[in-house]
Amino acid sequence: MTDDTGSRPREKLIARKQDWAREGRLLTGTTADAATVRLPPGQREVSDWPVLDLGIQPEITRAAFRLDIVGAVEQPLSLGFDDLLALPQSASVSDMHCVTQWTRYDNRWQGVAAREVLARARPKATARHVIFHAHDGYSTNVRLDQFDRPDVFLVHAWNGQPISRPHGGPVRVLIPHLYLWKSAKWVRRIELAALDRPGFWETRGYHNNADPWREERYAAAPGTL
């Protein structure tokens, strides 16, 4: 892993994941009810925490950290790490599900609830979508109603430790009810918008909604992309 992460875009990995979308890799063709089934269809439980990204892992100190909330909001915000810590803090335990098949149960997160940030930025009536922009050039998009949920957080600690740089520290987004590619690491800017704008994987064959229990892995059926 060490020689293939850190500074250079992982072109092969990106190409392979695009192939998976084209082939419909891992699709079981089933859905499950999240209320009764813990492991989404086609997933496999792991005990470690794999690192997945484009291969550029920016180094952002807590002192240099800044997160802007912009776009269709009444009150744009620009938060340093201390500003984030001054907001009400929450802890939560949730599972995470990566589209490459791994699921990791019982992650203990600390951070600020998305709703605390939204309450301060006050989305305009026209706001329907959220686009996340990260320091490595990555972006991803969700509907505002998917971000405006009690299980969504801007997290700075995992299992009692500061989130490490490979996992998106000092602060990453956590949207545990969607595939993990919707949870931007090294988040720099959260943009609210009237119109949707597909992000990095969403423009490379991956599903716009990404609900693991509906197996929303890819945008199109196998072979039709």
Ligand X SMILES: Nc1nc2c(c(=O)[nH]1)N[C@H]1C(S)=C(S)[C@@H](COP(=O)(O)O)O[C@H]1N2
* SS3 (DSSP) at 210: coil
Q: Binding to Mo ion by residue 147, rule CB under 5 A? A: no
Sites for ligand X among residues 92-121 (CB under 6 A): 98
| Sheet strands (E) in 144-209 | 153-158, 161-162, 172-174, 187-193
Q: Return the residue of 167, 189, 207, 217 that touches ligand X, per CB under 6 A.
A: 167
- DSSP-derived letter for residue 64 is T
Contacts of 158 (CB under 8 A, 6+ apart): 107, 108, 109, 167
Q: Binding to ligand X by residue 54, rule CB under 6 A? A: yes
Q: Binding to ligand X by residue 185, rule CB under 6 A? A: yes
Q: Binding to ligand X by residue 87, rule CB under 6 A? A: no
Residue 73 or 98 with smaller CB distance to Mo ion = 98
The residue range among 135-143, 159-167, 180-188, 216-224 that interacts with Mo ion, by the rule CB under 5 A, is: 180-188
Closest approach of Mo ion to the CB of residue 17, in Å: 7
| Bridging pattern class, strands 129-134 and 187-193 | antiparallel
Closest approach of Mo ion to the CB of residue 19, in Å: 14
CA–CA gap between residue 123 and residue 81 (Å, rounded): 22
Residue 96 or 118 with smaller CB distance to Mo ion = 96
Sites for Mo ion among residues 72-131 (CB under 5 A): 98
* Pair 132, 139: CB distance under 8 Å: yes
The residue range among 45-53, 134-142, 154-162, 216-224 that interacts with Mo ion, by the rule CB under 5 A, is: 45-53
* Pair 77, 68: CB distance under 8 Å: yes
Let me know if 162 is exposed, middle or buried by CB neighbors in 10 A (0-12, 13-18, 19+): middle
- Alpha helices (H) along 87-148: 114-121, 144-147
Q: Return the residue of 14, 18, 41, 50 that touches ligand X, per CB under 6 A.
A: 50
CA-based R_g, the chain, Å? 17
Give residues in contact with Mo ion (CB under 5 A): 52, 98, 181
Give residues in contact with ligand X (CB under 6 A): 49-54, 98, 134, 136, 138, 167-168, 180-181, 183-186
